[in-house]
Structures are given as C-alpha cells and as structure tokens.
Structure 1
Amino acid sequence: MDKDWWRPVLRPGFARSAAPWRAAGYLLVTGLTGLLLCAGLLVSVVAGGALAVLLVGLPLLAALALVGLPVAAWERRLARFLDGGRVPDPHRVPDRPGLAAWLRLRYRERATWRELGFTALAGFVLWPVDLAVAGCALAVPGYLLATLPLLLLDGEQVNVLKLWQVRSPWVAGLFGLAGLALPPLLAYPVGLVAAARAALVRVLLGPGGQDRRIGELVSSRARLVDAFEAERRRIERDLHDGAQQRLVALRMTLGLARMDAPPEGPLADRLTAAHREAGEVLAELRELINGIHPQVLTDRGLPEACADAADRSPVPVTTRFALSARFPAPVESAGYFAVSEALANVAKHSGASAATVEGRYADGRLTIEVADDGRGGADPGRGTGLTGLADRVAVVHGTLAVSSPPGGPTLVRVDIPCAPTGTGVER
C-alpha cells in the first residue's frame, strides 16, 4: 500500500471541497455492492455445493473463480472516481483469439486469484464497514438537522438517534446547529476510510511489483521504438526532399550537357557514363528511402504498401487483404516490415516458385500470413531476421509464429491486437 495514501485527506481545504462527498458516495456504493455480492456469493456457493453431488455444480464452482474479474473492474473504476487516479488492469492479452485461450490465461494468472480473494474480502468483511461509515457521514447530520422540523410536526417530542428525547424547540435548534457543524468534522475520518479502501484496491487489484516493472520496460521499449520511427521518417523526408531532388537535377544537367557535347567524342562518352551512374545512384537512393519508410504506407495504407513490396520481389507474390479500415501507424509499420522481411527470406533462402500474402482483421486482431512453396526449414534462431522481426512485433503487443517443416511449405503468421483508426480499402 502506498505509504502516503492519507496525505490528500490532510491537505488544507479538504473539508471545504467536494472530496468528502465523493468519499461518502464511494463508501456508500462499495457498501451496497458488497452487500449484493455477499448474497450472490452465498447463493452461488450453496447451489454449486449442492449440485456438485450430481456433477452439475462443478462448472458453477469453477466459474466462481472468475467472479473476481468483473468485481475488480468495477472496483478499479470506483477508485478512479474517488481520486481521479487510474488503476491499471493487471491482466495480459491472450496470445491467441478465442474463449479457450482466454480462459487458460486467466486461470493461470496470479491477478485472477488476487481478485477472487478481494471479492471474498469485499463480500464478507468490508461492506459493513463501508455502509457504517457512509451511513454515519450522511444520515447522522441529516437527522440532527431534521430535529426541529420533526418536533414542530409532532408537537410533543422527538427521539434523536433513538438516544435523546427532545421536547424543547431550543434544544432541537441546538441539535440542528450540531448537524451543521458535524459534516466538516466527519469529513476527515470518512476521507481516511475511503482513501484506505482505495489504496487497498490499488495494491490487490492493480499490477504487482514485477508486473509493474515489466510494464515499465514494455513502455520504455515502445517509447524508444516510437522515437526510432520518428527519426526514420525524418531521415526519409530529408533524403526525399534533399538528396534525391539534387540527384534528379544533377542527372538532368548531365543529360543536357551530353546533348550539347560533340558526338562521338571522349567528352560525350564520359557524360554518358556519368549520366548512367547518376541514374543508378538515384535508383539505389529510392530503394533506400523505400526501405526506411515507404511513402505508400503513409498515404495508402498496409494493403497497398504490401502490394508494392510484392511487386518488387523476384518471386511471384499474390496479395489478398480484407481490411476495411486503417490502423495505428506503429501497427501498420510492424505489419509492413514483417511482410518485407518475410518476402526477403523467401527470395534468399526458400527456393520457392510462388508466395502469398494475406491480411484480415477479426476479433480485435490484425492477422497477416506470408506463405511460400519453398523447401522449408526456416529457423528464427539461425539469423534469418525473424528474431528481430519478432521483437518489432512484440513492441505493439503482437506475436510472430513460424511454421516451416523440412520440405515446406513455410508459413509466417503475425497477430497484432489493435483497433481501427479510419476507413481503408480492401485489396
């Protein structure tokens, strides 16, 4: 638990702000949620235990292990309502789509069992405390303020909090004044209880220490890759707008000079050779720029960029994409370079006569497959570039799978969880 969780409650002006009311509302909602959760857990456990004799209740008892997931998601949202601080979700994204992969991962995660323990704690221990504190904070001042109106309506007496019998309007007025003075005094204990409960939520339902370190490493790597991508684009832009334009101008100047030079002379031959050399350098520079970051990827999207890479492959490649939307730039970049590296391996190592590139989006995942009819035997550990490609895909939380038995065929599959960002074109 954060050792400074109590500091916001003791800051100046806390009692005059809206924070105490948020704290009381937070405890009221968590108390009512815990009460309902207590009833639901008791009914489910009793029903599952009774039906377990007939084996019907076993799935119900197994499903109870996952009841902490929605409860924890609700608690994280409530903690954010209290102080505005987001509680990160500790769960990982499954490597494969489908319910089976999701269930297998959830049952193996420590976070699932921590959430189940917190659910039991909230359902059987915390909710009476939450309701008691919230009730005192909201009901007691209201009851004291209502003492005088209730006495005037009754005409004889009123029982204040079932402790005092009040018959005098003056005494009832004093209770009303106490009701006005009580909320600022109750603000601090209510705020401390709510802050302590939210801190407990952050400890038990947020990422653990190791998970936080892993998340920080992933975020750091993602920032480095973003910086690298930005630098790549800057270099590509400088080469495209600077060196390439100057080479084009130089080639045109050499062409004009060759036309003005005397024909069949040594000067014409040298100008012709220089003109040809400038053209070759310009072609190489364009290939370099395209390898740094193809402009077609930015302008037209992943299907067109992969089709362009397929056209430049010495092996015949067929592309089929069913993408109706654009995706975040890092995702499209990772997908494009995965296809480029896979096609380069096809040309260098596979001995294939044909290859295919297919892309689709379903269940929140972008899937790209590159297949060839070559000799197979591709091994990511032998320096074919697949290891670096797997690292690039991992930065965007994707996975790379390679199937390449001896004799072929070879299939490289990239799965990247992502959400569309705009309209695209199927190809």
Structure 2
Amino acid sequence: MPVRNALDALTMRPTRFLASSWPWRSLAYLTGGALLGFATIFVVLGLLGAGLVLSVVVIGVAGYLATILSGVAVGRLERWRMRLIDRDALPDPHRRPDRPGLRAWLMCRLREQATWRELGYAMVSAAVLCWIDAAVVFAAAVVPTTFLFAPVYMTDRPLAYTLPQTLLAPIGWVIAAYPVTAWAGARAAMARAILAPRSDDTDAKLVELTRSRARLVDAFEVERRRIERDLHDGAQQRLVALSMQLGLARLEVTSGSPAEAPLVAAQDLARQALAELRELIRGVHPKVLTDRGLAAAVGDAAGHAPVPVDLDLRIDRRLPEAVEVAAYFVVVETLANVAKHSQATRAAVTANVHGGRLYLDVRDDGRGGADPGRGSGLVGLADRVAAVGGTVALSSPPGGPTLVHVEIPCES
C-alpha cells in the first residue's frame, strides 16, 4: 500500500525512509510554513494599520475587510502546500456566489463559516505555528550545517577539535529527519482538522445544488410550455386548415372521379397527423393543466388511458405550478406503465391535499413485479418528484397489485 502522508512515512524501514523524499518534503513544508506565517504577520499588521489610519473615511473599512478575508488566501495556500506531505487533497469548502460581482462574492464569503475558520487558522499560524516551524527548521538544518563548516569559521582551533564536529553533521541530519517529518505530519493534521469542509459547508453546497436543480426543472418546464404553445398555435392550426381545404376540394370533384380517392386518402392522413400531434402536445405539456389545474388534467389523462381508470381526486384548489406538473406526469407515466407492463384490467388514481402536502396514489390490479432497475421510467419519476422536494414509494409484489405512492410538499 503506498504511503499517503508524512506520518505514515515514519513507519517505513529507516533505510527506506531516509532514502525517500519525505524528509525533504517535510523540511520544505515547514520552511514554507514559517515564511507564510511571518508574511501573514506583516500583511495583517499592515492591513490593520491602514484600516486604523483610514478609519476617518469610509475606505478604512476596506482594510478591515481585507484583514478578515486574508484567511481565505492563507487557507488556499495551505491547502496547496499540504500536497507536499499529504497526498489526499483537501477540497475547497467555499461555494460559488449566487450572482457575479465583487459585492456578491464578499457577502457570500462573509456568511460562510469556512471563512472564519480560515481566519482563525491564519491567526494561529502567525502567532504560534510559524515560530515552531522556524525553530524546528533551525534545529534540524542550520545547527548540523554549522557543525559541518566548523573548520572554516573555527580557524583558531586545532583540526582535532573541529573534525569531530564536522563528522557529527551527517549524524545530526539523519536524526533530525524524524522529528522534522513528525512535526510536519502533525502540523498538517492540525491544518486539515481546521480547514477541512464541515457538515455545514456540505449542507450549504447541497442546498445550492437543490436550488440549481429546481431552477433547471423550472426552465425545462418553461421550454416545454413554449413548445406546446408553438405546436398548438402553429402546426396544429395548419393541419386543421389543411384538412378543411382537402374537404372543400372533395366537394368540388364529382363522385367516382379519379381525383376523389387521392383526396380522401390525403384527408385521412391529415386527420391522423392531427390526432398524433394532439397526443404529442398532451405529452409535452397539456393545456388543460395550465388552464384548469391538476384534477382536470388527471381526468383528461385517465380518459385517454388504455385501461379503465377510477378517479378519486379531492383537490379543491390550485397547487403550485411545479407540483401540478410533477404530479401530472407521475400519473401519465404510471398509467403508461400499467398499459405496457402490468397486464392490468383496471387502475385507480386517488389524490388529496392534507397538512400542506399532496398525497397521490396510482394502483392497478396487474401482475406486479415492477422493478425500477429495468427501465420502466420509475427512476425518472423519482427524480422529477425529488426536484420539487417530494418522495416516491413503490409496492409491487409478484402477482400484484402495484401501488405507486407519491408525497409532494405543496406549500410555498
């Protein structure tokens, strides 16, 4: 199993550990930590000073905001530096602002707990950790190096005195490799504990993802309505006009004329195309759903279902548009599955609103055994319902009956 971080490297055999890159990576990490900490001290002091001097005018607030947000830069640098000694990348806990622009970015960052954790880490790094890093680097690298060059700067001492110190330098480096790597690993573990995303960061991203999915669903439904309107007002009207013109043309020809049969066939094809177009429009977005609501749309869908459908719809008001659309297509898709797969002779649809939730059941007396994994469209239904905060439950034992139970919150 490959070594993932500096602390794991300490468990390697001494010869393998000393010959690896981990001591050097650890030394580079601690050196960078010391430099980053000292730079943070100077930058923060400069920003605070600028804010204090300019506090008499409004722009002084920018200095204080920059001080707070300096932790974001430190956190980003630290996550980048940690790749030296920890091969498991630390993800960025920040989410993308809802709107473009500097103001939106500032408000988003100031509301995130990750920003304040990064500021706390920057302060701890500047106040404590960078000094320890500097001390460890000095003891591990500088002190043995001074022993190595003892004959150069101790010219007044005999060689018998300086030579043993020179020989101690490699031994010092070998011994120092272990505490350097150990402190680097411990320091990275502390940084990970502070900078790693928390559940609140994940929850914020989950909320944003849910909102984004809802916006996509809304945009999709708007596009469906546009397509339905274009088909209804454009292609359908032209087909109706074409059928009427063909009918008028039939009146102009005499019975038994060679032109009568082609006109009859053309008019029949126009009627078939018109019927298919109406079915297509109903599948894209039924106009009755927009005009009269869920109960009327479900009744219309039940009237066109291949099997008889019993209805018990106790919906006395219009529901939010997204809820009506999701519930309608649940009924349509489920009734289509009943006709295709269940061998049922009858189905039933019940719906009611209680406690701010829509409860919808679709039953059939078929053979059962419905499996969402076999491409029956149930997974798509669950995704559609989940986009509006609802849930779908399926009961379909072998031999039937099958029940699809849907609950959707319908309060704003």
* Partner residue, 2:316: 324
Amino acid at match of 1:350: S
CA offsets, 1:42-90, max 9 Å, x none? Answer: xxxxxxxxxxxxxxxxxxxxxxxxxxxxxxxxxxxxxxxxxx99x99xx
Distance 1:418 1:248 in 2: 39
Change (3 A) 1:277 1:302: same
2:265 equivalent to 1:273: yes
Distance 2:300 2:272 in 1: 20
Match for residue 235 of structure 2 among 243, 246, 268: 243
Distance 1:356 1:350 in 2: 14
* Partner residue, 2:331: 339
Structural RMSD (CA): 3.2
* Partner residue, 2:378: 386
Match for residue 306 of structure 1 among 298, 311, 318: 298
Match for residue 344 of structure 2 among 312, 337, 352: 352
Distance 2:258 2:383 in 1: 54
Q: How many residues align?
A: 236
Deviation at 1:362, TM superposition (A): 1.1
* Partner residue, 1:415: 407
Match for residue 274 of structure 2 among 262, 279, 282: 282
CA offsets, 1:284-303, max 9 Å, x none? Answer: 00110011000111111111
Match for residue 388 of structure 2 among 365, 385, 396: 396
Deviation at 1:418, TM superposition (A): 1.7
Deviation at 1:13, TM superposition (A): 5.7
Change (3 A) 1:323 1:209: same
Deviation at 1:262, TM superposition (A): 2.2
CA offsets, 1:18-55, max 9 Å, x none? Answer: xxxxxxxxxxxxxxxxxxxxxxxxxxxxxxxxxxxxxx
Deviation at 1:325, TM superposition (A): 1.5
2:255 equivalent to 1:263: yes
Match for residue 364 of structure 1 among 353, 356, 371: 356
Distance 1:211 1:379 in 2: 32
Query: Structure 1: where are the runs of 5+ without partners?
Result: 1-5, 16-83, 89-205, 421-427
Distance 1:322 1:207 in 2: 41
- What TM-score comes out, normalization by structure 1 length? 0.51
Q: Could you say what secondary structure the match of 1:240 adopts?
A: helix
Distance 2:199 2:295 in 1: 37
Query: Structure 2: where are the runs of 5+ without partners?
Result: 1-47, 61-106, 112-197
Deviation at 1:263, TM superposition (A): 1.5
CA offsets, 1:240-273, max 9 Å, x none? Answer: 0011111111110000001101211220100000
Distance 1:416 1:335 in 2: 8
Distance 2:364 2:59 in 1: 67
- What TM-score comes out, normalization by structure 2 length? 0.53
Distance 1:222 1:363 in 2: 23
How much identity, in percent, do the aligned residues show?
A: 59
Distance 1:389 1:353 in 2: 23
Structure 1 runs of 4+ off > 3 angstroms?
8-15
Distance 2:236 2:394 in 1: 38
Larger radius of gyration: 2
